[in-house]
């Protein structure tokens, strides 16, 4: 039973990080295509949102809360 819960949790964790990465990529594309006016701004809007997404990435505790809130699957305990 614990193995099944761990597998589900890992699957949802991967999905959550994939969604986070896709949101970052969409933000970069919008900034580069619609906001940037010249090559210097395009370069800046390509690099900086990715760096900001890395620096301000959600903590493991926050991700655990969100996964539990939306899926009902909690992180398995470390104790066996």
**Confidence bin at 6 (pLDDT 50/70/90):** confident
Distance CA 1, CA 7 (A): 10
Question: What is the pTM for the complete model shown?
Answer: 0.85
Distance CA 35, CA 53 (A): 18
Does residue 2 surpass a pLDDT of 90? no
């Amino acid at each position: 039973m614990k193995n099944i819960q761990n597998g589900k949790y890992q699957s949802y964790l991967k999905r959550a990080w994939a969604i986070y990465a896709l949101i970052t990529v969409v933000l970069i594309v919008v900034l580069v295509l619609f906001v940037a006016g010249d090559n210097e701004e395009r370069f800046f809007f390509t690099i900086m949102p990715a760096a900001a997404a890395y620096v301000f990435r959600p903590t493991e505790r926050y991700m655990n809360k969100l996964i539990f809130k939306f899926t009902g699957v909690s992180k398995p305990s470390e104790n066996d």
